[in-house]
A and B are shown apart, each in its own frame.
Chain A
Amino acid sequence: MRYTKKSCKLLNTTASVVPLHLILAFIFAIAVVMATDNCNAQNVSIKADPSHIQISAFYDGTSIKATGTIPAGTDIVVRITGEGEEIHLKKKGKVGGLLWMNTGAITFKNIPAVFMVYTTPEMAKMENLNEMLGYFSVKDKVEIEPVDEAKEFLFKEFTKLKEEEGVYIIDTKSVKYNGTSNGERQFEIDINVPPKMKPGEYSVEAYALSGSNIVGKADTELIISLIGFPAWISGLAFGHELLYGIMAVVVAVVAGLVTGMIFKDKGGAH
């Protein structure tokens, strides 16, 4: 209640100071911007097929197809990002001017577990794409502990590490355009989902770019979940830790004894 009264009071005060035609012009400008934005948003669409991946015992990664539209005359950048996570790393440095070894521990907080960017070779050459939509677009949201002056360098090294793991990718070969109709350009991307992409929710975003300006955006969700045996093992390991540890030891001992018996029966060990 108090809030409403205050707001009304504020509006009345503002109205009495600023001329009415200026307020109307401002409202009109906002409406135009919103309409343009809305129009662009409607012109961009994206769909992931399948949008739900199930990990069973013999899963070795899979592939999905991302399809959609962007306004004619624009280019596509599709970005897949995972939830922010905390990663503990070791910094390497030279000790005594001779030996390379770990010289300190660092923690990255709120860093996406997965970061995949799909675009055309021409767009990838664009100077500020990395800051706009690439790895460096999330750099400011990432916290490094302890605070390090070389944040940018460490972040770059981290992306190299993740690229080696196959979960940070800048792909310029998979985007295909399937023609333009009714002012809409259709795109299609074959996306490889590596087995290292852990169960979770991923955001699949499509950006339409005209030159270096983002003119439209759409997004969808990709879900990866465990089923069957991996789901059972994971539930046991994270829900019944002690039981899981004892079971792991008992199975190992029994397997060792059984193998020992089999070899004895075959006249091996003795």
Chain B
Amino acid sequence: MLHMYLPIAGNSVNILIILGLGGFVGLLSGIFGVGGGFLMTPLLIMFGIPPTVAAASDSNQIVGASTSGTLAHWRLGNVDYKMGLLLLIGGIIGGTLGVQVIKILRAMGNADFLINITYVIMLGGDGGYMFWESLQGLKKGEAPPAEEESAPKKESAYARALAALPFQTDFEKSGVRISMLLPLIFGTLVGVLAAIMGVGGGFIMVPVMVYLLRMPMHVVVGTSLFQILFTCVNVTIMQAYSNHTVDFVLALLLLIGSTVGAQVGTKISKRLKGDQLKILLACLVLLVCVKMLYGLLATPDIMVAIAGGH
């Protein structure tokens, strides 16, 4: 009774393990506003799920987790819909462009090299900078909340460039006044990267919102979840329709765990300071980066692998 058969994955899984995995990733999703695809898919593959089914079913469960997380953050007033929609539009444009880029690279025969290098550089740079920056914040000892700490200390060249852009708009929830073009451009860039790397892009989008769009951390989490929800709805339907890789039973088990985890995560996120949140996410991102680097440097036991997945 502890096992359940997954008809699309073609394997059985221990129900408690999958509920636990869902809970763990949901917790991260609620705390940091990331979809968790970059963690969940490798974990599912480890438990015997084919890579393509793991990635598609994970998107399905992220729909549930991000609905639950978005609802919780909406109640806390942490969702900037205007910003989220612009990022989403950019993300869709970028995703479409990214798929074309990958097609060209595959034809040229060096797509995998670029994917791996992008992964390591993005994870390492992203995690390293976030870690260093948050550590500086924590070292000050005052532990200022993210809202105050993210305010510019001096007028940098970047801030001046932002102010010079056309279509300046007030994003009330985020407390920033920036050009509408910025979230569109950054959304597109993240979309391209996400498509190349085959992930939802939450872990790139969050630092982009914090450092480049200068949004407060708590609004970033809610807005990121809102955007991820729509991205994953699209991915789930497309994967089910074109590739038959969505295992609904697996997704259902994962999302029972992840929706509960996301709620608990939101509560934890509320209690943590902005810098604490960032440093924890930085550690997680760096951990995945180290694992990825190890995978690239260590001689594999088997010289072939099943195609698909992230």
Contact = CB atoms under 8 A, between A and B. Distances in A.
A201 B150 CA distance: 63
Interface string B1-37: 1011101101110000000000000000000000000
Interface stretch (A71-79, A122-130, A206-214, A250-258): A250-258
A259 B5 contact: no
B64 to A, nearest CB: 4
Interface of A: 55-61, 87-93, 95, 98-106, 153-154, 157-158, 160-161, 164-165, 195-196, 198, 226, 229-231, 233-234, 237-238, 241-242, 244-249, 251-253, 255-257, 259-260, 263-264, 268-270
Contact of A248 (B240, B256, B262, B295): B240
B170 interface: no
Nearest to B263: A263
A252 B67 contact: yes
Interface in B236-294: 236-242, 244, 246, 248-249, 251-252, 255-256, 259-260, 262-263, 266-267
Contacts of A233: 7-8, 248-249
A245 B244 CA distance: 9
A99 B116 contact: yes
A92 B5 contact: no
26 contacts: A60-B5, A91-B304, A92-B302, A92-B304, A98-B297, A99-B297, A105-B307, A106-B304, A153-B303, A161-B304, A165-B48, A195-B3, A196-B11, A230-B7, A233-B248, A233-B249, A238-B244, A241-B242, A242-B241, A245-B240, A248-B236, A251-B248, A252-B67, A255-B255, A259-B259, A259-B263
Nearest to A245: B240
A246 B237 contact: yes
Nearest to B110: A95
Contact of B5 (A59, A101, A247, A257): A59
B118 to A, nearest CB: 12
Given A99-B296, A100-B299, A161-B304, A259 B260 contact: yes
A264 B68 CA distance: 11
B157 interface: no
Contacts of A270: 75-76
Nearest to A156: B303
B141 interface: no
A60 B11 CA distance: 8
A161 B306 contact: yes
B307 A256 contact: no
By CB atoms of chain B within 10 A, which of A55, A92, A256, A268 has the most?
A: A256
A268 to B, nearest CB: 6
Contacts, number: 194
Nearest to A88: B307
Given A57-B4, A241-B244, 9 more contacts: A56-B5, A90-B305, A164-B302, A233-B248, A255-B256, A256-B63, A256-B68, A257-B68, A260-B68
Contacts of B65: 256
Contact of A247 (B116, B248, B296): B248
B305 A269 contact: no
Contacts of A230: 5, 7, 249
B111 to A, nearest CB: 9
B250 to A, nearest CB: 10
A257 B263 contact: no
A235 to B, nearest CB: 9
B231 interface: no
Nearest to B51: A90
B137 to A, nearest CB: 27
Contacts of A158: 304
Q: Which 4 A-B pairs have the closest CB atoms?
A: A256-B67, A245-B240, A60-B3, A260-B71
A34 B252 CA distance: 58
B72 interface: yes
A237 B244 contact: yes
A165 B76 CA distance: 46
Given A98-B297, A249-B63, A161 B302 contact: yes
A157 B304 contact: yes
A198 B267 contact: no
B303 A252 contact: no
B304 A196 contact: no
B263 A245 contact: no
Nearest to A197: B10
Contact of A101 (B233, B255, B296): B296
A241 B238 CA distance: 9
Contacts of A251: 64, 248, 252
